[in-house]
Amino acid sequence: MTSTSPATLGSLTGIGVGPGDPNLITVKALNHLKSAPVVAFPKGLNGRMGVAQRTITPWIEPHQHQLALQFPYVRDSQQLTNAWHLAAAQVWPYLSSGKDVVFACEGDPSFYGTFTYLAQALHSQHPEANVSAIAGVCSPLAAAAAAGIPLTMQGQTLAVQPALYAVSKLETALTWADVVVLMKVSSVYSEVWSLLQRLDLLACSTVIQQASQTEQVIYADLRQWRELTLPYFSLLIVQPQPQVPGLKADLP
């Protein structure tokens, strides 16, 4: 059995395509996307396109092969590991035949990105694989721009909670961070609202759902929004500083 020479291998590049607006993809990521013979992305749920696939669809050409990879929305570590290794096994035949593959990742590949797990799984199976990443616009940055607020100013510290399984973690973060971003807030919104009310932080809290997308909705000053039914891609920013005069919301 002969081994594949590293010189003949294709490259796997993770590209951050932003939080949903196709115009937020960077020029560098777009150039890689257009030049790749194989374009991979997370498979959407229930037959629908996922955010990454929907974002890159305007740029895909008919000659490019599209590879949808299954990544389950679960917390079970073994199930997730199996999915990452299966995805790596699906990508490898293209790389080993010399074809470059781009993997479109929501937001930024290094910011809680699925690409990180794919890259790790691929390297564990094939240490010789060529892997790189291109930065993108992550959802907290897009959400702050949409709401017309600075995410941080001067010496402010920032805490990001990727998901909240215990409200006490948010309360702890609020003791040391000047600004807190709570991602995936939909399932815990009621508990978070009560905590922010107790700490008198509702007036300086904002919810942005589906930032940069056509379905984007912004709820500022949460004192009037005790009950909200939010989609999965919703985040909350606790920012005690006032809005910068003249800084307007970035509407999709």
Q: Based on the domain organization, do 105 and 217 belong to the same domain?
A: no
Q: How many domains does the chain have?
A: 2
Are 182 and 161 contacting, i.e. CB atoms less than 8 angstroms apart? yes
Q: 6 pLDDT exceeds 60?
A: no
Comparing 18-27, 47-56, 67-76, 119-128, which segment has the lowest mean pLDDT? 67-76
Give the range of the structural domain holding residue 207, as residue numbers without chain letter: 139-238
Q: Based on the domain organization, do 64 and 171 belong to the same domain?
A: no
Q: Based on the domain organization, do 121 and 165 belong to the same domain?
A: no
Closest CA to 157 of 173, 172, 178: 178
Q: Which of 109, 134, 159 is the last residue of a domain?
A: 134
217-237 tens-digit pLDDT: 999 999 999 999 999 999 999
Query: Is 209 a domain residue?
Result: yes
For residue 77, the model assigns a pLDDT of 87
Q: Based on the domain organization, do 102 and 172 belong to the same domain?
A: no
Per-residue pLDDT band for 199 (boundaries 50, 70, 90) equals: very high
Q: The domain spanning residue 69 has which CATH number?
A: 3.40.1010.10
Q: Based on the domain organization, do 109 and 19 belong to the same domain?
A: yes
- DSSP assignment of 109-156 equals TTTT-HHHHHHHHHHHH-TT-EEEEE----HHHHHHHHHT--S--TT-
Per-residue pLDDT band for 7 (boundaries 50, 70, 90) equals: low
Q: Based on the domain organization, do 144 and 208 belong to the same domain?
A: yes
Q: Which of 134, 167, 201 is the last residue of a domain?
A: 134
Q: Calculate mean pLDDT across residues 56-62.
A: 96
Per-residue pLDDT band for 251 (boundaries 50, 70, 90) equals: low
For residue 75, the model assigns a pLDDT of 77
Q: 1 pLDDT exceeds 50?
A: no
Q: Based on the domain organization, do 112 and 48 belong to the same domain?
A: yes
For residue 249, the model assigns a pLDDT of 63
> DSSP character for 48?
P
For residue 243, the model assigns a pLDDT of 55
Query: Is 151 a domain residue?
Result: yes
Distance CA 78, CA 19 (A): 28
Q: Based on the domain organization, do 101 and 44 belong to the same domain?
A: yes
Query: Whole-structure pTM over 0.75, yes or no?
Result: yes
Handedness of CA 120, 126, 131, 137 (dihedral sign): negative
Per-residue pLDDT band for 143 (boundaries 50, 70, 90) equals: very high
Q: Based on the domain organization, do 150 and 199 belong to the same domain?
A: yes
